[in-house]
Every structure is written in structure tokens, then in C-alpha cells.
Amino acid sequence: MKGKRFYVFVLLAAFAVSMFPQPAKAEETNFNYVDAFAKSILFYEANWCGPDAGNNRIKWRGPCHCDDGKDVGLDLTGGFHDCGDHVKFGLPQCASASTLGWAYYEFSDVFIEKGQDGYMLNILKHFCDYFIKCFPNKTTFYYQCGDGDVDHQYWGPPELQTYDRPTYYAATPENPGSDVAGDAAAALALMYVNYKDRDSEYAEKCLTYAKDLYDFGMKYRGNSKAQSYYLPRTYLDELMWGSIWLYVATNDQKYMDNVEKLMVEKGITGGNSFNDNWTQCWDYVLTGVFTKLATLSTNPLYKAIAEDHLDYWQNSLKSTPGGLKYLDSWGVCKYPAAESMVQLVYYKYTGDKSCLDFAKSQINYILGDNPNNMSYEVGFGDNYPKYPHHRAASGVLEGPPADEKKELPERHILYGALVGGADMNDEYHDNVNEYVYSETGLDYNAGFVGALAGMSKYFGEGQMPEETPGIELMPSQYYSEAKLYKSNTEGVTVDLNLYNIVTSPPQYEKGLSCKFFVDLSEYAEEGINPSKFTTKVYYSPAGAAISSIQPFDKEKNIYYVEITFPDSALYARTYVQFCIYNYESKLWDSKNDLSTADLTDEYIKTGDIPIYKDGAKVYGNEPDGGEEDILYGDLNNDKQVDSIDFALLKKYLLNNQQEGISLKNADINKDGEIDALDFAKLKLYLLKSITF
């Protein structure tokens, strides 16, 4: 009898195991899915908008668009930039937030186990904080900040974008936006479910706003607008989506009843079925609707539609030669990525292994198992896109004052961004201008995060995220690049590019200058006074000024001209064409001049045209002799005066700790003592109350 009971127990245990999907064995994995998963979340920190941008892991971002909403008398800062641009479009923002919330709802255990829960919840809260700001009363929902036509004319860091951004669209009873209201309500309801055990007060606030937004969208019907960029088809699926998550959050049957009513409006009722042949994206959440209804509703029609959809993607939708499911020519990879999330959610509830196999095949293709042997997730693996179409990651500023070109190497790695990817023929063009291939976006990554969470759950046992070098604070880079435009016995004309690469975060800098050194020994031998020289700026978009010839070491006949920018703040690249001439004599010889000796008619990087910030040298070489430059306040000798120096001086005054401190630079008031007076003066300088 005991043996029989033991046999029955073994059968029951085996049956129970078969009911719940199990993690794959380590040898079945092809990639570090957990690393891909963690990086896919990081992308959203790069697209963060508002005064708190940069207050996360990515330190090459900083405050931006801090006046959003000013034109309507509100604070509408926050939210996220849409793609590689800086507009906050309504529908993709709301849809992405809801899909990310769904991903966390389904796979929260993975987010927690792999240490990603704090990051993801912070991102979801930033979305929801923004939605709450945008809904100041029960009949107004602001959903677009920025003019897409104007915004797309700008290529540069968001921190440097200065135009007055209009609050372009608001949903009202007269101009409804049921789609954005439904998606935002779903996102807020999901935030309640995902956050109630961490901060019940904030979760309840989200639920209240979710209900009100949903009621607003249900009462005043119509589609949102987005200029020519995001043109919605219908709003019924978004209202269903909001209904489902409010039902999950409240268990109030009225929301499920509303789903049925909306299905009738959609024509899906009785004997009328529906072919769901698209997938979850910015303008289509029906796939999510049917996937959830397959487990929430007792109506067999919904399960039939959901499973027909899964089968269509697995067996009927065309594929590229390399095996990627091909739904649309724009954003090719985002659709199979989102569909992989859907299939993994269904696998979670049913154990249908065909769903798991489908997701693995598609995610493996995206991560590198493809004819190009490259990852379409930026920063993942050894071979990935280097030119995603993304202004913040590029860091390049087209137009004045920098006049750079977006085709330059990008200054930052846009970790985790899913690019549009390969085309129908598995070809990929790593070109910032070919944005059908290189575009990134909130919508691209939303389903991708969920898919990678599922892959990490089922194939990521023992895996952990890897390093992401380059997201931390980076010191400013200064250097000079120059060439000879003209050189003869009368003098020299020089083309100069002065670079100040300030990326943590991007910002314009004032107080920059450079010096160009010449040896006038040939003129001294003839008794010619340096005052006889002419100096002139021929061209400078930044309004450069040039000094007359100045002495550096009279005994050695070493002189210089100083180029300054009295009315301009500079970023990245500043071009100047200037000349030094003596038209009365034919003695000029560039070979003995420090700054000219190595120049040719091709640009070269040179250390012999030093750069100064507020009078202190930050780059390059000076001739032997002359006075030593001291940057007072720069205690750690990093050529900058900042909060780190302030902390070092405080530590020295409190504890007399001298390690890592230049005491010479600490004597800020130059009285021979390092004391509270220096501390006070440094504080005033950092508060921009004084200059040194």
C-alpha cells in the first residue's frame, strides 16, 4: 500500500512540474540573456526628459526641456523623449509605459532576482509622474510636448536645445483622445498593481488617476493626433486595454463588462471572430488584450483568437532568409521582439513549448544569431550598431556654433537600444542617416524588455548583467586641430578648430581661449618692433577676438596672440580663421614657431596651440620660460574647479588631510594661507557669485 501511495505521489509531482514552465538547462543557452535584459532597461535612462535627467546611472545626460508646459501655465516636465528625437509624443509614450508595466507584472520575479526591479520601477514611476502632471483636471489630458517638424531640424544633445517647446496637443471633450487616455489609464493601473506593496499611497494615487482618465476616454470618444508622425487607426483597443488592467487592479466587474461592450463596437461578438495578425505596438494593443483575456475571461472566443494569433506568427507570417519574422519594413526587429514577449507570457500560463521555441529563435536572431553575426541591441556583444539614429547618444551638434556632422563617431554608447534592424534580405546599414535601419524608440524597446525578461526567466539561470563602461562621469576633453591656410614671407593664415568636448552632461562653456606662439628672432635681429604686426580674425561663427602680439619670453623673442570668445559660450567644435602678418618685411619663417612648425595644409591635432579655461591651461604645450599657470581652486589638478575640489578643501580644513591635494592651488585668495577665507571664496565661485 505504501508503494502504491508513493507511486501516486511521484505521478502527481511530475504532473505538477509539467504544469509550470521550467528554466532551461545552462547548455541550452546561446547568449547572456540577463545582460541583454539589463541593458534594454538602461535605454530608457538615456531617453529620460526633465530637470532630473542624469540623476540615474547615465551621467552623460543632464537636465533638459525644463520649461515644458510653461505656455499653458503648467509644469509638464518629465516623461521620455520618443525616439532619437526629443518630442514627447502621446500615443507611443502611453503605449510603451503600459507594455513595460505589463512586462513587470508578468515577470516581476525576474526583475527582482536579477537586480533590475529598482531601475524598472523608477522608470515606470517617471512615466506615471508625467501622466499625472498631464491630467490637471478630469477633462484635460496634455499628451504632446514639442513640435515634431521643428524638433527634427535640430541635431544635438537635448541639454542644448533651447527653443520654446509648445504644448502641442491636449485631449478635451471637444478634441478627444480616447486612445492615449486608455493606454495611460492602463499604465497607471499597472503601476498601482506593481507598486502597492512598496508605496501604497503613491499606488492609490495612480489608481485614482487611472480611473478618472479611463472614464474621460470612455465618455469623450475620438483618436489623438500627432502631426504627421503617429496617426492612429482606432481607439477601441486602447480602451479595452485600460479596462483589463483596471479590472485586474480593482476586481470590479464593470470593467470586464466594458470590454464586452467595446468588443461589440469592434464587431467581435457572437459568431464573429477576429484575425489578430499584427502584434503589440504603439497603435495596436489588441494582441495584449486577447492574450490577457485568454486567461482572465471564460469566453472561449478570446482564447481561440489568441491561439490563432500565436499560430499565425509561428507558422504563417513570412520570415527573412535568416529566420526573422517580417511584419513591416519600418522597425523590423521591434515586432518580433514584442511578439516574443507575448509568446513568453502565454508560455508562462500554458506551458506551450512552441511559444518558448518561437521566442528563443527570434531573440537569438536579434542578439546575434543572424547572417550578419551582429547584435541589433546596441552595446550587447562584440559586434553591434555604432551609429544609432539618436541625438543624445551622438552628442554631435550640427549648426552653429559647432557645425559638426552627425556622421561623426558617436560620443556615447546607447546601451540596450533596439535598432530597427535588418531588412527583408537580412541586410543592415549601420548609418545614422538611414533611420529605417538605425532608428530607436520607446516603442521599440517596450516589448523587447518584456521578451528579455521572459528569456532571462527561462534561459538565464546563473547569468548576471555585465559591465557598461562609459555611462559614468567623463572628464571634459580639450584639444586643438589646425592647418595652414596660407603661409609666406609676410606671415601666416591659420584654420583652427578648438574642441571642448563636455559630455557629463553636455553644456556650453564660457571663458575659453587659446594661444598661438611665434618666435620673432628674425625680426629682432633687424630691430623690428612687434607692434608692427597685424593680427586679424577673418572668420569666426562664434565671434572670436584676437589680441595684438604679446610677449611671453622677451629674452628669447617668444611672443603669442590670444584668441578669445568674449560673447560666446562654446560646445564641442569652434572654428576660427585668423592671421598674423608684417607687410613691411619679408622675414617670416614658420619653421621656428612652436605653434606653426608642424602644420601643413591638412588638419592635424596639435598640442602646440594650448587651450585655457578662465586663464588656466587645460590642454597643450607652452614654450619653455614664461610664468607658470595656476588654476586656483583646482585642488585635484584635473584642470577643473568643481564640487570635488570643494569637498577636498573641506576635508583638508577639517582633518588636515593633504593626500591628493595641490596646496598651491588651494590658496585661492593668494595670501599665503589656506583657511576659511579660501573656503568661502571657493563656495562663492561655485555658486557663480564671483570669478577668480
Give the active site residues.
85, 389, 430, 439
Q: Under DSSP, is residue 434 helix (H, G, I), strand (E, B) or coil?
A: coil
**64 - beta bridge partners?**
50
CA distances from 393 to 158, 242, 436 (A): 10, 34, 17
Scored b (16 or more CB within 10 A) or e, 658-672 reads eeebbeebbbbeeee
Residue 623's identity, in one-letter code, is: P
Rg (CA), the chain: 31
362, 447 in Cβ contact below 8 A? no
Q: Under DSSP, is residue 484 helix (H, G, I), strand (E, B) or coil?
A: strand
Angle of the 178-195 helix axis to the 90-113 helix axis, nearest 10: 20
Q: H/E/C letters for each residue in 160-226?
A: HCCCCCCEEEEECCCCCCHHHHHHHHHHHHHHHHHHCCCCHHHHHHHHHHHHHHHHHHHHCCCCCCE
CA distances from 53 to 80, 509, 522, 686 (A): 10, 20, 56, 21
d(CA 488, CA 492): 7
CA distances from 428 to 370, 376, 386, 394 (A): 11, 9, 12, 19
Q: H/E/C letters for each residue in 244-273?
A: HHHHHHHCCHHHHHHHHHHHHHHCCCCCCC
Rounded (10°) CA dihedral 182, 185, 187, 192? -160
291, 342 in Cβ contact below 8 A? yes
CA distances from 632 to 510, 577, 603, 622 (A): 17, 31, 33, 19
579, 611 in Cβ contact below 8 A? no
Q: Which helix (H) or strand (E) holds 66?
A: none
| Contact partners, residue 41, CB within 8 Å, separation at least 6 | 116, 119, 120, 123, 416, 449
DSSP character at residue 156 = S
Scored b (16 or more CB within 10 A) or e, 38-48 reads bbbbbbbbbbb
DSSP for 359-402, written as a single string:
HHHHHHHHHT-STT---SBTTSSSS--S--B-HHHH----STTT
Rounded (10°) CA dihedral 429, 435, 436, 438? 50
415, 119 in Cβ contact below 8 A? no
Q: Which helix (H) or strand (E) holds 491?
A: strand 491-501
Q: Which three cell numbers stand for residue 426?
A: 537580412
Q: Under DSSP, is residue 236 helix (H, G, I), strand (E, B) or coil?
A: helix
DSSP character at residue 564 = E
Q: Under DSSP, is residue 233 helix (H, G, I), strand (E, B) or coil?
A: coil
Place of cell 508646459: 69
Q: Is 683 exposed, middle or buried (0-12, 13-18, 19+ CB in 10 A)?
A: middle
